[in-house]
Amino acid sequence: MKTHILKTIPHLQPLQIALVVSVFATQLVPAASYVWDAGGGANTAYNTVANWDPTAPTGGPGNGDIATVGGTYAVGITTAGMIPSGVNLTLNDSSSLVRNSTAFFTVPTAAVITFNNSSTLKSSGISLGGNATLNWNSAGSWTTVGASTPANFATTAGGSQVISMSAGLWSLVGNTHATDSFTMNAGTFNMSGGVIFSDKRFTLGATSTFNLGGSSSVYMNSDFMAPGAKMNFVGTDSAYYTKSDFLTTRITAGRIYVDGVLQSDDSKFDRETVLVDEALFGGTGGSAVSYFKYSIVVPEPSGLALAVMGLVAGALRRRRHSSHC
């Protein structure tokens, strides 16, 4: 026997019934999917509804929607047409997001923005709000254009943002802020590849974690790490370059981790002075700029491991010898 759901809830008033029906209807509506086809002609703004197939709602794909851009399309982000909260936007192929030269590209609360293939970003900065997610899987670049008074990259304090970078280049230059170009006030940055280059300071706030792993490299003029910040080196192939020799001070202050373990000394680190050609990353400092390079020491094989390797090599030699007899 079927029982209508509303009959199981006694004494519902008409307004309450309407509310219950509205809630169920909202839960049953699937996320809408939109693909950029530039139907708006010369108007390439994200919020131009004719640029999407099917035609998007007012403001462009919004909360809960899935939006995809491919090919070589360039999507414009304007002050009047910012990306809405909660949208899932993916850029593929050689497509790009373009913000005007004096403003930030904002990844709003609960939005997920993903750059794949060779897609790129042009903006004076990136700002991540709330629990926003930014995935950079692209071999392309984010090049800062125009002057930026705040740090080029910033996360909102009190948020739980997640940023992942596995390839490409972020070139943070031309910042007019007195000190900073990369500021994580909160959130987690997982870097497993690619390069971040900045001509100013790298700052980690009290509730932020930066995981530097894979084959990734970070180049910064200097750094600041607040109490509670975590700089975590993962594996042995990544490297951190800075013009200020910060390692001992940061270890003493309890900011440096290796594979998630807080370090009490610098015994796990290689530290050397190297010359860097900043022009490779969009910098203007010349081809022989001195940096301190920090990386994790590659462990030497233990005595037992060497002995086992010797036994295995001997066994292989005997097997080859017996096969020729």
Return the pLDDT at 306: 46
Q: Which of 69-78, 169-178, 296-305 has the lowest mean pLDDT?
A: 296-305
Q: At 283, which amino acid appears?
A: G
Confidence of residue 1 (pLDDT cuts 50, 70, 90): very low
**Predicted local distance difference test score (pLDDT) of residue 78:** 86
pLDDT in tens, 226-266: 999 999 999 999 999 999 888 999 999 999 999 999 999 99
Q: Which residues contact 288 (CB under 8 A, 6 or more apart)?
A: 275, 276, 277
For the cut 80, the answer to whether the pLDDT of residue 315 exceeds it is no
- Check: CB of residue 74 under 8 Å from CB of residue 96: yes
Residue 284: is its pLDDT beyond 90?
A: no
Cis ω for the linkage preceding 54 (within 30 of 0): yes
- Nearest one of 231, 192, 191, 224 to 208, comparing CA atoms: 231
Both tokens of residue 79?
């002050």
Give the mean model confidence (pLDDT) for residues 168-192: 86
Which residues are 257's β-sheet partners? 232, 262
Distance CA 183, CA 186 (A): 9
The pLDDT score that the predictor gives to residue 31 is 82
Q: Please, are residues 97 and 126 in contact by the beta-carbon 8 Å criterion?
A: no
